[in-house]
Amino acid sequence: MLTPFEYAVLLTIIANCIVLALEEHLPNDDKTPLAQKLDQTEQYFLAIFCVESLVKILALGFVLHKGSYLRNVWNIMDFIVVVTG
């Protein structure tokens, strides 16, 4: 069973996927008004994902003990995505 925290993270991921799907790539880097508004949401999604990673790191520990954040393959992928974001 998922916790409310996990539901919130999953809803954020789904919302981010929808925003990415609505992206339009026009010639000469032209952007529609919708695309310009959607570009502004990127910083909010990144902030939410950074907070999610920090909360998990604080709760689980970073890497030193069994069950820590970077001992889970999904969290490693999540960490790489957040750091490169």
Q: Mean pLDDT throughout 27-48?
A: 89
Is the pTM higher than 0.75? The answer reads yes
pLDDT at 17 over 90: yes
**Structure tokens given for 41:** 């949401």
How far is 6 from 35, CA to CA, in rounded Å?
A: 28
Q: What pLDDT does 24 receive?
A: 83
Decide if 41 contacts 35 (C-beta within 8 A): no
Q: What pLDDT does 13 receive?
A: 95
pLDDT in tens, 52-61: 999 999 999 9
Q: What pLDDT does 61 receive?
A: 94
For the chain, what is the HEC assignment?
CCCHHHHHHHHHHHHHHHHHHCCCCCHHHCCCHHHHHHHHHHHHHHHHHHHHHHHHHHHHCCCCCCCCHHHCHHHHHHHHHHHHC
